[in-house]
Amino acid sequence: MEEEYSASDPTQLLEAALEFTNHPGFQSDASVKDFLDRFPLPVIINALQTKADVPGLENALVACLERIFRTKYGASLIPLYMPFVVVGLGADSQRVRCLACKTISCLLENVDETTVTAARLVLEYDVYPLLLNCLVNGDEQVATASMDAIKNLAGSPDGMGIIFPANINEATHLRNLVGRCSSLGRVRVLALIVKLFSISSSVASVVYNSNLLNLLEAEVSNVNDTLTTLSVLELLYELAEIQHSTEFLSRTTLVQLLCSIIRSRAMMISGRLLSKENTYMFIDESSVKTVISAIDGRLQLLESQDADECECALEALGQIGSSIQGAELVLSSSPPAARHVVDAAFDRQGRGKQLAALHALGNISGETRSENNILLNSAAEESLRCLIYETASKTSKLTPSGLFLSVLEQDSEFRLAGYRLITGLVARPWCLMEICSRQEIISIVTDTYIETTKTGMEARHNCCLAIHKAFISSSKLISDPALAGIAEKLHEAVRRGPYLARKHAEAQPVVITADRF
């Protein structure tokens, strides 16, 4: 009687679904089972399909089913209701289609593989073509849910065979799908390719061997659809961040292609791609030089006309320079591309541009590299030293120490960039001498009160550690009586740590005077 009453009373079902959905925290298997004992799945699915004229019913039931299928018990019921899931994937309602896609994800994530293979169910019910249709024709939420389901499908060996069919003429082959999509659909399929590529190196190998990366190159080369090109550049930016991307992207013409269309996003992608430690295992030095030359040329052309693009170019040079080989190339080109970075780092005409340049110079000087990989070859080191001294001589500060101090005397964002820069540079004896020549610099980096954020405190302390380490390693400076005060100050600051340590912890009385009239 309770099931019949529930089926004929959508209002009661709505109230129960809302209560179940809005229950705080995770739903246990026991609570799901209790709810389904009162309102069996056929009742809920029937109400969802018939769309009873009750405001909010569809939303409530979709949310309710989503919570049910996220549980282990709920997911175990999905194989029994696959025909309904298939209907949901083709429903007119975007909410229902989104739910169906999420249900497939729950199936793939939670099904008991000892009793049934989830990928086999997907194949048996011909679910994959429906997921692809949701991807290219659904709204944004449906497309995202579909993409997640396909990524989960790729997580199983059987699923890989579905997504990457041996027959390249299959309609579901992603290369063929791209050819018959709208521009929005193409971008979504390309986004799926990037998501699949990110799963693992082995899946990335399948993506590469299926010639799917070429699709991204083709879209970047397409001069007839600027919006699509920009969207694909964003996808390439994500792709370049993936750890194993360099190995595979180096086999494509992507680096050369980016040089030919060099602009803000292309520069950022190039910088991110070439910043990885394994870059020079897969990409030859001449290709890196070509990228550096293209960025250098772009900076010369831009001068100060486009601040945002200048920032991107400076950041890209900094990313390339984060590795030893990259830093040496940035400093040793003729003329050195790093001159733009050094000039902008101490030019207060543009805040964003100066910050980007300071962080880039920090990378080039070795702040992000391991302790044994900070110093460069002699030619690059001499180039770095000359660039900084030449820049200082053209300013009112006259010396590098004056430049460093001018950065540290600015607000917290600039101090953070200044700490990073000094942390990298101070491994050079000439820079250490410059730092020790200005008591004001030592006072700032040893001041445990100056920074109020965790990031700032740690950056200041790391800078202090680097100066202290360089100082005690210098037999010339450590034995100089005139610098004994600096040595003591650095030692004490290092000992106290980064987080507002106090020499003496004393109770501070709080006195409030009485109001008098």
With cut-offs at 50, 70 and 90, classify the pLDDT of residue 3.
very low
Which residues, 6 or more positions from 62, have their beta carbon under 8 angstroms from its beta carbon?
A: 48, 95, 96, 98, 99
Which is more confident, 302 or 220?
A: 220
460 and 390 assigned to the same domain = no
**Given 3-state DSSP classes, what are the helix, strand and coil percentages for the chain, each rounded to the nearest 5?**
70, 0, 30
391 and 262 assigned to the same domain = yes
Given a cut of 50, whether residue 4 has pLDDT beyond it is no
What DSSP string describes 439-457? HHHHHHHT-TTS--SHHHH
Evaluate whether 405 touches 438 at the Cβ level (below 8 Å).
Answer: yes
Given a cut of 60, whether residue 94 has pLDDT beyond it is yes
Instruction: Give the pLDDT mean for 304-322.
Output: 85
433 and 321 assigned to the same domain = no
Q: Can you tell me the distance from the alpha carbon of 342 to that of 403, in angstroms, rounded to the nearest whole number?
A: 11
The alpha carbon dihedral of 36, 37, 38, 39 has a sign of positive
367 and 451 assigned to the same domain = no
280 and 351 assigned to the same domain = yes
**pLDDT at site 111:** 63
Q: Tell me if 328 is assigned to some domain.
A: yes
What DSSP string describes 479-515? T-GGGHHHHHHHHHHHHH-SS---SS--------PPP
Place of tokens 């099904």: 111
Q: Can you tell me the distance from the alpha carbon of 152 to that of 368, in angstroms, rounded to the nearest whole number?
A: 35
Q: Tell me if 111 is assigned to some domain.
A: no
425 and 302 assigned to the same domain = no
Last residue of a domain, one of 370, 395, 420: 395
Last residue of a domain, one of 347, 372, 395: 395
- Domain tally for the chain? 2
Q: Can you tell me the distance from the alpha carbon of 444 to that of 442, in angstroms, rounded to the nearest whole number?
A: 5
Q: Can you tell me the distance from the alpha carbon of 194 to that of 216, in angstroms, rounded to the nearest whole number?
A: 9
Q: Tell me if 107 is assigned to some domain.
A: no
CATH number, domain containing residue 328: 1.25.10.10
262 and 377 assigned to the same domain = yes
Q: Tell me if 50 is assigned to some domain.
A: no
420 and 320 assigned to the same domain = no
| Model confidence pLDDT, tens digit, residues 459-497 | 999 999 999 999 888 888 888 888 888 888 999 889 888
Nearest to 47 by CA among 15, 69, 25, 75: 15
258 and 391 assigned to the same domain = yes
Q: Can you tell me the distance from the alpha carbon of 425 to that of 388, in angstroms, rounded to the nearest whole number?
A: 11
Other residues' Cβ atoms within 10 Å of the Cβ of residue 129? 14
The alpha carbon dihedral of 6, 7, 12, 17 has a sign of positive
What DSSP string describes 177-228? HHHTS-HHHHHHHHHHHHHHHTT-HHHHHHHHHTT-HHHHHHHHH-TT-HHH
415 and 466 assigned to the same domain = yes
**pLDDT at site 515:** 53
**Torsion of the alpha carbons at 494, 499, 504 and 508, rounded to the nearest 10:** 160
368 and 423 assigned to the same domain = no
Q: Can you tell me the distance from the alpha carbon of 469 to that of 307, in angstroms, rounded to the nearest whole number?
A: 37
Q: Tell me if 356 is assigned to some domain.
A: yes
**pLDDT at site 267:** 85
| Model confidence pLDDT, tens digit, residues 420-455 | 999 999 999 999 999 998 999 999 999 888 888 999
300 and 370 assigned to the same domain = yes
**pLDDT at site 1:** 37
Place of tokens 């944004």: 140
CA 2 remoteness from chain centre? 51
Q: Domain range for residue 333?
A: 253-395
Q: Tell me if 348 is assigned to some domain.
A: yes
Polymer length in residues for the chain: 517
Nearest to 3 by CA among 38, 33, 34: 38
Last residue of a domain, one of 339, 367, 395: 395
* Mean predicted lDDT score pLDDT of the chain: 87
Longest CA–CA separation in the chain, Å: 96
Q: Tell me if 105 is assigned to some domain.
A: no
Q: Tell me if 186 is assigned to some domain.
A: no
The alpha carbon dihedral of 211, 218, 197, 180 has a sign of negative
